[in-house]
Amino acid sequence: MKKLSICIPTYNRAQQLSELQANFLTQALDQYQEHIDVIVMDQSNDRVSTTIQQSLDSRVIYYRNSEKGYAANINALLNQANSSYIWLISDDDHIVWSGFEAAMLEVLKNESDCIMLPISSLGMFDDPITENYDFLDRTKQLTVKDLLLSDTGHLPFLLLSEAMVRLHKDDISSTYIKISSNIFVQVPILFSMLSLGSSVCIVSEPVVNYVNDVAMQWPIIKAIDDRFAVIDMVSEQFPAFKAHRYARARAALVLGLCHCAERDAGLLYMPHSKKTALALAKRAIARLHLNSLPFLTLLALPKALSVLLYKTLITIAYVKQHSGGKVKQHSGGKSFDAKLLAFKDTYKRLNQKIARHQAQILALRSTQS
């Protein structure tokens, strides 16, 4: 039995899968073939499926899945795995080789039930960010209980490639059946393989470089409602988690409100309408919290004013977080001048980013028309 199954769902994305193979899969199979297998579960149409099969490395295990839907593909994919650990990744993920080698050390140790993988990305102002699970106390042996209860805003496994989990297949299909159209189906499935006492370790460096796309794949209301559903399922599995499900639901709402604001500002391309905004507002009001008030206010304003306020708020927040040390060196009027200069520079950078994204969105729309 292999140590790790790298499981990749795909749908009509031959180019992305080809790039993943060239940039990561071939090297992984070359160096770790004794320990890993790579499984692709494909729902593509006949033409794309033929292209994929012709381009895949002969060592990749390929399956064609006629059952449609993302959740169905995840279910079929994981049921084909036979290894100590599974690792679900997207067909367009950017894997950091040194991080993967560090993760393989943990896999080969075979000591932890869940191996969390730090993810690097770029923030709103293109500053490097690493999700390194700083909320966890690494001076002690970590468990799933620590992972679930230490940070009420974080829901593990939402990002597909976030963890390698010890494989237990007993509850995969029964969990899938309960939420067979949920776009976050991997969350309860992976948790079904674990208990509160399951051991957790964290890889020492980023394994995935997450690249934010200008287009959202899923409608915003579906993404929020599906997150609510998996939060409830995890609460059923782990009663100790129930007290925190509302905080995680609010975190999902705040993210949805942020996406609406980003869409109006020209940073995101996603399905959106007044009906969507109304549905989102109803969900936010039902779970009203101070954290969501500024973004909820944006929904009620005319678009031009909403965009201006949003850009101002996030610019102020960034300057406050990143320029505090510099402006403290000044006093009185100089301090104000330094803050104002930092604000102007940051606001300019934001507008430049919006212009770049709007160009990408126009190009995307032209290909879809």
Residue indicated by tokens 């969507």: 276
pLDDT of 359 higher than 70:
yes
83-88, strands of its sheet edge to edge? 61-64, 36-42, 2-10, 83-88, 163-166, 114-116, 199-202, 142-143
Beta strand residue intervals within 144-273, DSSP E: 163-166, 199-202, 208-209
pLDDT for 330: 47
Residue 186 shares a structural domain with residue 327:
no
In this structure, the answer to whether residues 106 and 204 fall within a common structural domain is yes
Share of the chain above pLDDT 70, in %: 95
Number of compact structural domains in the chain: 2
Neighbours of 59 (CB within 10 A): 14
At residue 211, what are phi and psi to the nearest 5 degrees?
-105, 115
Length of the chain, in residues: 369
Averaged pLDDT of the chain? 91
Angle formed at CA 246 by CA 218 and CA 78, multiple of 5 degrees: 50
- The domain boundary, picked from 157, 177, 212, lies at 212
Percent of the chain at pLDDT exceeding 90: 67
132-136, 139-143, 250-254, range with the lowest pLDDT? 250-254
Supply the Cα-derived Rg of the chain in whole angstroms: 22
Q: Are residues 181 and 314 in the same domain?
A: no
- For 212-231, write each residue's pLDDT tens digit: 888 887 888 999 999 999 99
The reply to whether 220 falls in a domain is no
For residue 88, what are the domain limits?
A: 2-212
